[in-house]
Amino acid sequence: MPSSAQYLPFYLASRRTVFPTTELCISNSIRHLAYLRTSRRNSYLGRHGISNWAAPPISNQCSHTRPPLKVAPSRSVPLPLSIRIHSRTLSSSTKPNQTPSSEMAEPTGLITTSGIELLTWGTPNGHKISILLEELKEAYGTEYTVQAVDIMKNTQKQPWYTALSPNGRIPTIVDHNRGGFAVFEGLAILSYLARHYDPEHKFSFPVDSDDYSVAEQWMAWQHGGVGPMQGQANHFLHAAPEKIPYGAQRYVGETERLYGVLDARLAGGREYVAGPGPKGKYSIADMSLFGWVNVSTWGGIDLANFPNVKAWHERILARPAVQRGLTVPGGAPSRVSNSELQRRVTEGDEDAKKQLEEDRKFIDAAKEKYGYKYSSP
């Protein structure tokens, strides 16, 4: 255990759209990193069952004078059962802090020759795949191996990884059941897994049905809209080296517009995005969106303004497989998920409360400065 300061990522998306520059600029002052001091004998993180994250390399290419935010302890969440991590199978007796992310071997290539191998990190785009794999495991017994691809270390840029995923982003799967076939991009992975591993269409629809087309439309809408726009909102709120009001109100505002579209879709008693009948059916269309909505507060979105989306989020969050999928690969949920932020504020975490209040004031001031008016669609 290092005795010097460590950094724990608050939230970092898969870097498809969040960071406009080619390389991620990491510094002591990026506000989505939480500053935590540890000691040799009594790790602050270990006491609470939180994965100990390795300190990222510090870049001298950007600077920011704002102090980082301290993090309150998180609740311990069990790892998904029987997920093999780095060629090691975790059983129901495995404790959540036995294999923290920082102690996992740095991936240098594939580690198995059978089943599905998931290469991922704990982001909204990563979670959409781990949630589906957990649902498939519960429904059909589908097993998978997971490797933590540390995007803080640019592991996803290594040659072995880009040979599988040319875009150098997470997530990626390799299907060893089908000759080592690799699939990258979340939308494509969801469709692939549903096509090959959901024969009873428990989470998908027959390919020649109208419901399939509807689900496909909403997944494309997420892939080209919610993900990129909310990712940019996160960037301008928490990662940009300077506060840029126009960028913040532009992307938070567009994300709000998209949430309005989703809220309208879920009106009139509809419970899920796609599927037959007035209520629809839980499917990969919901999974594609859920990860982003699950961190909407961090992106400056107040779900109280979108009651149908809020109810939909709570409905999906209650699913056991979703709960397990949200802990992949590090064994703990996102530090900036809506529920974690709410818990911390409720339990008196003044730093979290101050952060959210500052975000809201900044967004409101930016909207007023540029005359933002909400409208949707």
Say yes or no to pLDDT of 73 above 60: no
Burial grade of 306 (CB within 10 A; 0-12, 13-18, 19 or more): buried
pLDDT, position 6: 31
Domain of residue 353, residue span? 210-369
Distance, CA of 291 to CA of 14 (rounded, Å): 12
Higher pLDDT, 122 or 47: 122
SS (H, E, C) 14-46: CCCCCCCCCCCCCCCCCCCEEEECCCCCCCHHH
**pLDDT at residue 106, rounded to an integer:** 86
How does DSSP classify residue 98? S
Predicted confidence (pLDDT) at residue 82 exceeds the cutoff of 80: no
Close Cβ partners of 69 (under 8 Å, ≥ 6 residues apart): 10, 31, 34, 35, 351, 352, 355
In angstroms, rounded to a whole number, what is the distance separating the alpha carbons of residues 187 and 77? 27
Residue 80 has pLDDT above 50, yes or no: no
Give the pLDDT score at 102.
Answer: 57
CB 242 within 8 Å of CB 33: no
19: pLDDT confidence band, cut at 50, 70 and 90? Answer: very low
In a domain, 26, yes or no: no
Looking at the structure of the chain, the number of domains it has is 1
Span 314-324, pLDDT tens digits: 999 999 999 99
Q: Do the Cβ atoms of 239 and 31 come closer than 8 Å?
A: yes
Q: Is residue 150 part of a domain?
A: no
Give the largest Cα separation in the chain, rounded: 60
Decide if 71 is inside a domain: no
**351 domain-assigned:** yes
Question: Residue 241 belongs to a domain with what CATH number?
Answer: 1.20.1050.10
How large is the average pLDDT for residues 303-320? 98
Query: In whole angstroms, what is the distance from residue 280 CA to residue 303 CA?
Result: 21
Residue 173, beta-bridge partner list: 118, 183
Distance (Å, whole) CA 282 – CA 301: 23
Dist CA 162 CA 362 (whole Å) = 38
Is 65 part of any domain? no
pLDDT at 79: 36
Could you give the residue ranges of the DSSP H alpha helices within the chain?
44-47, 124-140, 159-162, 186-197, 210-221, 227-234, 245-265, 284-293, 307-317, 320-325, 338-346, 350-369
Burial class (CB in 10 A: 0-12, 13-18, 19+), 139: middle
Residue 325 belongs to some domain of the structure: yes
- Amino acid 105: pLDDT: 78
The reply to whether 159 falls in a domain is no
Q: How far is CA 66 from CA 11, 19, 63, 244, 352, in A?
A: 17, 19, 9, 14, 15
Provide CB contacts within 8 A for 2, sequence distance 6+: 38, 55
CA pair distance 186, 181, nearest whole angstrom = 15
Instruction: Please check the confidence at residue 96 and state whether its pLDDT lies above 70.
Output: no
pTM: 0.76
**Could you tell me if residue 62 is inside a domain?**
no
Long-range contacts of 367-372 (CB under 8 A, 24+ apart): 367/249, 367/252, 367/253, 369/245, 369/249, 370/245, 370/246, 370/249, 370/250, 372/249, 372/253
The pLDDT assigned to 256 comes to: 99
Contact (CB, 8 A) for 107 and 119: yes
Distances (CA, A) of 303 to 180, 282, 312: 41, 20, 11
Mean of the per-residue pLDDT values for the chain?
A: 80
pLDDT value at 71 more than 60: no
